[in-house]
Structure 1
Amino acid sequence: MVKIAIAGGSGNVGQEIIDVLVATKKHEILILSRKDAPVGETSGGITWAKTDYKDKEQLAQILQGTHTLLSFVGDEPAAPIQKNLIDAAVQAGVKRFAPSEWASAGLEHLGWYAYKGETRRYLKELNKDKKVLEYTLFQPGTFTNYFTAPFKSSDNVQQVELPWDFYRRRAILLEGSENDRISLTTSQDLANVVARAIEFEGEWPVVGGIRGSELSVKEIIALGEKVRGGPPFDIQKVTAHAFENGEWNTSWVPEINHPSIPPEQVEVLSRIFTAGILLAIHDKAYQVSDEWNRLLPDYKFTDTEDFLTKAWYGKA
C-alpha cells in the first residue's frame, strides 16, 4: 500500500483512474483540487486537499509521505503548475511523478498542449546529471470512447466530437491523410494500466506509451461504416494549406465542448482544435509507442472493433 496524490483529481480522466485505484483497496488516495471536497468524498481511503497550486511550500507539505503523484491539471504555456508540482514533489521526497500528458506523443500543431512540451523539458533538465525524480509520460493516443459519441462508454470521461462522426455517418479528413495512423486506447484500459504501473517494481520508462490498437484513417472510416451499417460515410476533405490558414469550410465542424472551454469560445476553438488535430495526426503525433504494453505483457487490451461493435449495437 502506498500513498498516491492526484492533482486535478476531480476531472474526468483523473476520476477514471481514481475509481480503479480505489477498487483495488490497496492505496491511500489524496486528491488535490482547487475545489472544496464534495460531500462524501473524504471516505473509503480518499482524502482531499484544496490548493491553487501557486505555493510550493504548501504543496510540499500536502505531499509529505506521498509515493506517487499523478497530474491531470491543465496549464499555461510556461507550465507554472506542473513546475510547482515537480519542485514540491522533489522537496517532499515523492518517488514517482506523472505529468499532465494522457494524450499524444508529438505536440506539433497542438498549441494548446504547449505546457506539456515545457514540462517535458523541465523534467529532462531536472534529471540531466542524476536521477532526481522518477517519472513517465503516460501517452494513450486517442480514447476509443470518443468514437461512441454522443453515447457514453465511460463512467467519467466526457464525450467530445471528433472529425470522424460515427453517429451521423460523416467525417472531415485532411487531404491525402487516408493512410495516417492513430493509436486508440479505451479510458478503462488506461486506468487499469496506470494502476498496474503504480505497483510496477521496475523503473518507470520516461516515455510511457500505452497502445490499445493502431488504425489508419481509412480503417477508422471502414470500421465506422461497418459498426453503424447504412449508407457510406459522407467524407469532406480539406487541404493542409486551408487548415493552416484557417480558410476552410465544411458543412459541419466537430464541437469540442469541454468544461475547461468557456461557452462563448467553443465555436472558434472547435475550428482550431479540428485543424490542429488532423494536421498533428498527419505528422504522427497520435502514433504512440508501446512501452507499457511491453512492461505489462500479461495485460489484455480491449479490441477496438469489439468495443465499438458492442457500443453501437442497436443504435439507429
Structure 2
Amino acid sequence: MIRIAIAGSGGLAQTFAYFISQTTHPFIILSRTPQPTLTALDYQVVVVNYENQDDLRYSLQGIDLVISTVSGNPQINLIDAAANSGVRRFVPSEFERPPARRRPNNLLDRDKSHGLDWLRWWSQRTHMRSTVFTCGVFYERFARGGLVSMGIGASTSVAYQGSYLVDIGEGTAEAVEYNMAGQPIFVSMTSVNDVARFLVAAIELGLHDWPGEFRMSGDRRTVSEILSWSEAVRGGVPFSTNIIKAQDLNTHLNHATNGLDYYRVARIQELIATEQRCYDFTAPNLNALVDVRPISFWDWLSSHWA
C-alpha cells in the first residue's frame, strides 16, 4: 500500500484521483480551497496553505508519494515540506516535454526548471527521490475548447483551442512542418486519461526502482500528419493554413514581442519548441514495463470530433 498526496484540484489532479481511486492505495487531495464536488465523490480533500511550511508538513505526515499539479512557488514550498516529512518519491508538475530538452529562458517554463533543480538539491540531502513523467503533447490540446475544457492550464496562454498548431473547430492552422535541416518534425503525444493510467500502472510496480524519468507515448506523428488528419476528421475540407519556415520563427517571435502580443509570443514559443524536438522522443521506457494500451491519436481524434 502506497499512501499518496495529489497536489492541486484542477482537471489533471482530478483525472489522477479518479484512476487512483480504482486501486487500493489511499490518497488525499491538497487544495487551497474546499472542494465539495470532490468531497461528494468520497475523495479526502485537505485544505492547505502553500505559504505555510508547518501546515504542509502536517498534511504530508505518513505520505509516501506526492504527485504535484501545481507549479511556481507553491511547488517549491511543497518540495521543501515533502523532503522534511519523510516522503519517499516526488512527481513534479512536469508532464509534457522531456526536461533534458527544455529551452532556457522560455516564457512557458513557469519556474519548473527551478523545481527540478530544487528536487536534485534535496535528493543529495534526504532519502526523497523524484521522477518526471514525460508524455509529450496532450491530445486534448486538439479538443473542443483545448486543454482548458478539462480544467487544465487555464493560467497559461497555450491551453486554449487553437493555441497549438491547429484549431480544428475553426478550420485554421499555423505550424512549422520541417526543421532547419529540412527533416519532418515529429511530435510525441498521449491522452490525459492514458497519462493517468500509465501513472497508476507505475505505482503498482512500487516506488523503489523508479528512474529519474518515465517516458510514455500514445502516438508519435509528424506535424504534417497532424494537420492532414485534422482536416480529414472534419470532412476533408482544406483548412486555412499558415506554414512558417523554421528559419523564420525567430523573426515572428521578435515581431510578436515588439508588438506586445503575448498570446502570439507564447504560440510562437511553442512552435520553436516543437521545431527543436522539445516534444519528441523515441523508445518510451514506461510503455514496455506496464500493461497499458494507449489510444492512438487518430482513434482519439476521430472519436472526439465525430
TM-score tier, shorter chain, comes to 0.7 to 0.9
Aligned to 2:255: 246
Q: Distance in 1 between matches of 2:225 and 2:294?
A: 19
Contact 1:205-1:291 at 8 Å conserved across structures:
no
| Residue 42 of structure 1, CA deviation | 6.4
8 Å contact kept, 2:177–2:223: no
Classify 1:39/1:283 alpha carbon distance in 2 versus 1 (closer, same or farther; 3 Å).
closer
Report Cα offsets for 1:189-213 as digits up to 9, x if no partner: 0011111122212511111222111
In 1: Cα distance, 2:148 partner to 2:58 partner: 38
The alpha-carbon deviation at position 244 of structure 1 amounts to 2.4
The equivalent residue for 2:78 is 85
The equivalent residue for 1:3 is: 3
Residue 32 of structure 1 contacts residue 49 of structure 1 at CA under 8 Å; is this kept in 2?
yes
Post-superposition shift, 1:226? 2.1
1:114-263 mapped onto 2 (5 Å cutoff): 114-128=110-124, 132-150=127-145, 157=152, 160-161=160-161, 162-174=164-176, 176-177=178-179, 179-201=184-206, 202-238=208-244, 239-247=248-256
Asked if structure 1 preserves the Cα contact closer than 8 Å seen for 2:174 and 2:242, the reply is yes
State the alpha-carbon separation in 1 of the partners of residues 69 and 198 from structure 2.
16
Q: Is this contact kept in 1: 2:7–2:30, CA < 8 A? A: yes
Letter in 2 for 1:36: P
Deviation at 1:154, TM superposition (A): 8.0
Q: Distance in 2 between matches of 1:203 and 1:40?
A: 32
Query: What aligned pairs does 1:9-48 form with structure 2 within 5 A after superposition?
Result: 10-24=9-23, 26-38=24-36, 41=39, 44=42, 46-48=43-45
Q: Distance in 2 between matches of 1:61 and 1:247?
A: 46
**Paired residues of 1:210 and 1:292 also in contact (CA < 8 A):** yes
- The alpha-carbon deviation at position 220 of structure 1 amounts to 0.7
In 1, Cα distance between the equivalents of 2:177 and 2:233? 24
> In structure 2, how many angstroms separate the alpha carbons of the residues matched to 1:236 and 1:227?
19
Q: Secondary structure at the match of 1:30?
A: strand
Question: Which consecutive residues of structure 1, in runs of 5 or more, have no partner in the other structure?
Answer: 249-266
Deviation at 1:156, TM superposition (A): 5.6
TM-score, structure 1 as length reference: 0.82
CA RMSD of aligned residues (A): 2.7
Which segment is superposed worse, 147-156 or 209-218?
147-156
1:52 aligned residue? 49
CA–CA distance in 1 between the matches of 2:148 and 2:198?
18
CA distance in 2, matches of 1:206, 1:225: 38
Cα deviation, 1:122-148, whole Å, max 9, x if unaligned, reads: 2223334x7721221112111112223
Give the SS at the match of 1:305: helix
Separation in structure 1 between the aligned mates of residue 7 and residue 40 of structure 2, nearest angstrom: 16
C-alpha distance in 1 between matches for 2:76 and 2:58: 16
Residues 240-290 of structure 1, C-alpha deviation per residue, up to 9 Å, x if partnerless? 132320349xxxxxxxxxxxxxxxxxx944212211100111111111451
User: TM-score, normalising length from structure 2?
Assistant: 0.84
Alignment partner of 1:69 is 2:91 = no
Closer/same/farther in 2, CA of residues 83 and 219 from structure 1, 3 Å limit = same
Q: Is the 8 A contact 2:5 2:66 kept in 1?
A: yes
Q: CA deviation at 1:175?
A: 7.0
**1:254: which partner in 2?**
none
**CA 1:97–1:42 in structure 2 vs 1: closer, same or farther (change >3 Å)?**
farther
How big is the shift at 1:157? Answer: 5.0
Q: Could you tell me the percent identity over the aligned residues?
A: 28
What is the identity, as a one-letter code, of the residue corresponding to 2:64? H
Q: Deviations over 1:76-133 (max 9, x none)?
A: xxxx3223212211221111110111221232163231411111122223334x7721
